C-alpha cells in the first residue's frame, strides 16, 4: 500500500489554503463541504498555522509552498501541495460523497486524472441512495447492539439487513417504511428474513439500456422470474448463481397463467427470497404489473417497481422518429393492438400512435383508423427489435406499411408508429450511427 487512507474530521476545525487562484479554490471547496473553516492567504507566515488541522497549497510561489511544507512537517500538521509530491505528507483523493458514506480514490499522485475516471465509474455503480442506508444503520445502531450483543450475530444480521428489503426501501427514499422494515427484521433477528419482490423493467433488449438500479438488483437477486421476450441481455448481467424461472410466452412455449405467476412471486418472497420479476421494456406498460402488485400487496409482501425503457421510446430513439413534435405531434397514444381490444377512437389529430402487439392485426388496425377518418397516406413505420443490434425498420404510409409489413417482418417484437410526427424523422444515417436495415416504401 502506497499511503494509508484515513478520514479527517474537519467540522469546526481550521483548514489552511495557501494560494488564491482557481486551483486553490478547487482544493478549498471539498474542505468547506467537510465542514472546515477555511483560512486563506497568498503568502506563508508561521502564525497562519495556529489551530490548523490540515493545510494545502496551490497557486503560490514555490518558496512559499516549501515554507508551508517545512513548517507543517515540523508541527505534525498533514499538508498537501498540488503537483509537488515531495512537499506532501497527505494526498487529497477524488471523493464520492454519499453522506454519511464517503469513498475516496487515490493513485498516490501517479495519475490524478485516472483517479477521477475511477471516481466516475464508482459513482455510476454506487446508488445515490446508499447514504440513506448508512443513515438508517446509524439510527438503529444502539438498538442493534442491545438486541444482538454478540458481535458475530450482529454482523450476520447487519449483513442481511443492509442488503435486504429495508435497505431497498431506504435507497428508494421511503424512510418510514424502511425503518419499519428494519425494526421488524430486528424483532425477528433469529428467524428467517422476509423476502421482497422488485418488478424490474429490462428495457427493449439491449444490455446497456438497462438502468443502473436494475443492474444492481439483478446482481443481488436470489431468484429471477423473467419473461422470455427481451430479457436475454439483462439476464446475462445477473448474478451467476441466481435461480432463473422463465414464465413469459414465445412461439412454442405457452406462458404461465398470470395468477400462477403472481402466486409464484408471493411464494418465493415468503420463503425469504429476494425476487426480481424481470419484464421487457417498462413493467407498467402492457406488462400485467397491476395484477402482480395486487397479489403482492394482498399477501403483505414488500415490493418496488423499477422503470425500464419502453419499446416506444427505444424505437423513437433508434429511428429518429420524434414521439412528440412542436407542430404536428401534441400527444402520444400507447395502445395495444391485441385482438381482444377495441380499436375505435384511436385516430386523433396531431397524435402519434405507438401500437404494441399490433403486427398480427395490422390490416384491421388500418381499417379501423381509416374508418375513424385517418388519411391512408399518413406516415407510418414498423420497427422490429427496436433499440437492439438486430433492429430493422419499415417506413411508408399507413396503407403501404399495412400491406407490406406481414411479409417483411422477421418474427421479432415489432412496434407500429403512425402519425404525422413519423414523417418528421431526421435520417440517422451518416451521423456516426450504425446503419439500420430500412425498407422505405415512400
List of residues contacting ligand SAH (CB under 6 A): 204-205, 230, 279-282, 285-287, 310-311, 314-315, 356-357, 383, 385-388, 413-415
Other beta carbons less than 10 A from residue 276's beta carbon? 30
Give the nearest distance from C-beta 398 to ligand SAH in angstroms. 17
227 catalytically annotated: yes
Measured between alpha carbons, how far is 196 from 168 in angstroms, rounded to an integer? 9
Measured between alpha carbons, how far is 435 from 84 in angstroms, rounded to an integer? 50
Instruction: Specify whether the CB–CB gap between 102 and 9 falls below 8 A.
Output: no
Measured between alpha carbons, how far is 267 from 272 in angstroms, rounded to an integer? 9
φ and ψ of 209, to 5 deg: -105, 15
**Nearest residue (CB) to ligand SAH, 80 versus 388:** 388
Minimal CA–CA distance to 204: which of 297, 319, 68? Answer: 319
Per annotation, catalytic residue among 59, 168, 227, 282? 227
φ and ψ of 238, to 5 deg: -85, 165
Distance of CA 250 to the CA centre of its chain: 28
Place of cell 471523493: 95
Give the nearest distance from C-beta 227 to ligand SAH in angstroms. 8
Give the nearest distance from C-beta 387 to ligand SAH in angstroms. 5
Give the nearest distance from C-beta 224 to ligand SAH in angstroms. 16
DSSP 368-433: HHHHTT--TT-EEEEEESTTSTT-EEEEEEHHHHHHHHHHH--SS-EEEEESGGGGGPPP-TTTTP
Give the nearest distance from C-beta 235 to ligand SAH in angstroms. 15
**Nearest residue (CB) to ligand SAH, 230 versus 302:** 230
Per annotation, catalytic residue among 83, 159, 249, 375? 249
249 catalytically annotated: yes
**Nearest residue (CB) to ligand SAH, 21 versus 411:** 411
**Nearest residue (CB) to ligand SAH, 44 versus 356:** 356
**Nearest residue (CB) to ligand SAH, 48 versus 409:** 409
Give 163's DSSP letter: T
- Closest residue to bound ligand SAH by CB: 281
> For 71, left (φ over 0), alpha (ψ -120 to 50), or beta?
alpha
- Alpha carbon separation from 439 to 1, 125, 292, 405 (Å, rounded): 59, 39, 39, 10
Give the nearest distance from C-beta 188 to ligand SAH in angstroms. 36
**Nearest residue (CB) to ligand SAH, 157 versus 356:** 356
Measured between alpha carbons, how far is 341 from 374 in angstroms, rounded to an integer? 19
**Nearest residue (CB) to ligand SAH, 282 versus 292:** 282
Give the nearest distance from C-beta 268 to ligand SAH in angstroms. 21
Measured between alpha carbons, how far is 220 from 287 in angstroms, rounded to an integer? 23
Positions marked catalytic: 227, 249
Amino acid at each position: 500500500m502506497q499511503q494509508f487512507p484515513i478520514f479527517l474530521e474537519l467540522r469546526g476545525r481550521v483548514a489552511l489554503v495557501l494560494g488564491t487562484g482557481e486551483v486553490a479554490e478547487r482544493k478549498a471547496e471539498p474542505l468547506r463541504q467537510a465542514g472546515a473553516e477555511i483560512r486563506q492567504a497568498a503568502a506563508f507566515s508561521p502564525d497562519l498555522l495556529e489551530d490548523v488541522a490540515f493545510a494545502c497549497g496551490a497557486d503560490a510561489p514555490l518558496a512559499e509552498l516549501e515554507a508551508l511544507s517545512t513548517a507543517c512537517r515540523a508541527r505534525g500538521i498533514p499538508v498537501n501541495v498540488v503537483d509537488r509530491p515531495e512537499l506532501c505528507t497527505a494526498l487529497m483523493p477524488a471523493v464520492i460523497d454519499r453522506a454519511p458514506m464517503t469513498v475516496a480514490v487515490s493513485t498516490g499522485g501517479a495519475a490524478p486524472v485516472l483517479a477521477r475516471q475511477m471516481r466516475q465509474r464508482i459513482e455510476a455503480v454506487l446508488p445515490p441512495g446508499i447514504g440513506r442506508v448508512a443513515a438508517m444503520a446509524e439510527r438503529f445502531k444502539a438498538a442493534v447492539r442491545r438486541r444482538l450483543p454478540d458481535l458475530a450475530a450482529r454482523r450476520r444480521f447487519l449483513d442481511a439487513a443492509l442488503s435486504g428489503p429495508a435497505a431497498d426501501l431506504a435507497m428508494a427514499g421511503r424512510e418510514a417504511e424502511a425503518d419499519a422494515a428494519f425494526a421488524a427484521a430486528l424483532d425477528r433477528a433469529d428467524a428467517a428474513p422476509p423476502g421482497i419482490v422488485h418488478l424490474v423493467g429490462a428495457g427493449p433488449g439491449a444490455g446497456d439500456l438497462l438502468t443502473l438500479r436494475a443492474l444492481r438488483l439483478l446482481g443481488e437477486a436470489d431468484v429471477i422470474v423473467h419473461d422470455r421476450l427481451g430479457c436475454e441481455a439483462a439476464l446475462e448481467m445477473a448474478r451467476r448463481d441466481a435461480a432463473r424461472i422463465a414464465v413469459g410466452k414465445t412461439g412454442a412455449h405457452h406462458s404461465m397463467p398470470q395468477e400462477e405467476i403472481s402466486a409464484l412471486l408471493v411464494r418465493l418472497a415468503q420463503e425469504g427470497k429476494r425476487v426480481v420479476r424481470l419484464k421487457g421494456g417498462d413493467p407498467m406498460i402492457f406488462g400485467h404489473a397491476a395484477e402482480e402488485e395486487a397479489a403482492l400487496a394482498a399477501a403483505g409482501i414488500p415490493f418496488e417497481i423499477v422503470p425500464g425503457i419502453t419499446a416506444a421510446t427505444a424505437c423513437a430513439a433508434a429511428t429518429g422518429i420524434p414521439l412528440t413534435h412542436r407542430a404536428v405531434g401534441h400527444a402520444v397514444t400507447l395502445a395495444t393492438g391485441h385482438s381482444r381490444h377495441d380499436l375505435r377512437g384511436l385516430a386523433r389529430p396531431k397524435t402519434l400512435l405507438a401500437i404494441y402487439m399490433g403486427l398480427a392485426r395490422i390490416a384491421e388496425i388500418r381499417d379501423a383508423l381509416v374508418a375513424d377518418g385517418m388519411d391512408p397516406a399518413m406516415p407510418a413505420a414498423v420497427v422490429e427489435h427496436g433499440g437492439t443490434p438486430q433492429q430493422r425498420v419499415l417506413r411508408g404510409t399507413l396503407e403501404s406499411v399495412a400491406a407490406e409489413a406481414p411479409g417483411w417482418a422477421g418474427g421479432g417484437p415489432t412496434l407500429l408508429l403512425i402519425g404525422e410526427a413519423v414523417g418528421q424523422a431526421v435520417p440517422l444515417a451518416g451521423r456516426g450511427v450504425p446503419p439500420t436495415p430500412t425498407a422505405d416504401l415512400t
